[in-house]
Amino acid sequence: AVQLVESGGGSVQAGGSLRLSCAASEYTVSRYCMGWYRQVPGKEREGVASIDGYGSTSYADSVKGRFTISEDTAKNTLYLEMNTLKPEDTAMYYCAASGAMRSACQATRVLAFGYRGQGTQVTVSS
């Protein structure tokens, strides 16, 4: 069965950086669309970033210019590099992967991907 395991979350001060990792098993990173979304209790989930099967990326306006999504095919791992973090970035971050979509996977569509991990908490203090 497909497994996505996130790591790299933690607590940082505003302006700091974190890199989230999503190790995939029984799933080939870079073959289909993958991405990250985040959720704060009591608020709607937000698609943060996505990367399609051709390497094209998409970001939510709220993180554009600060976050970078990437893949390492040798490690079969998806990453989210987060810089200049703000308190409003505080959330549980989830990795998600599509089992069929290879293109046109904007960040907003990450919420519809069929596979997802257990999440990793990011807390940014002011």
Q: In what order do the strands lie in the sheet with 3-7?
A: 3-7, 18-25, 77-82, 67-72
Question: What is the full per-residue pLDDT of the chain (126 aa) written as tens digits?
Answer: 999 999 999 999 999 999 999 999 999 998 999 999 999 999 999 999 999 999 999 999 999 999 999 999 999 999 999 999 999 999 999 999 999 888 889 999 999 999 999 999 999 999
Q: Cβ neighbours of residue 83 under 8 Å, at least 6 residues apart? A: 17, 66, 67, 68
Q: What pLDDT is stored for residue 104 in this prediction?
A: 87
In this structure, what token pair is assigned to residue 79? 């990453």
- In order, the DSSP letters of 65-117 are TTEEEEEETTTTEEEEEE-S--GGG-EEEEEEE-SS--S---GGGGGG-SEE-
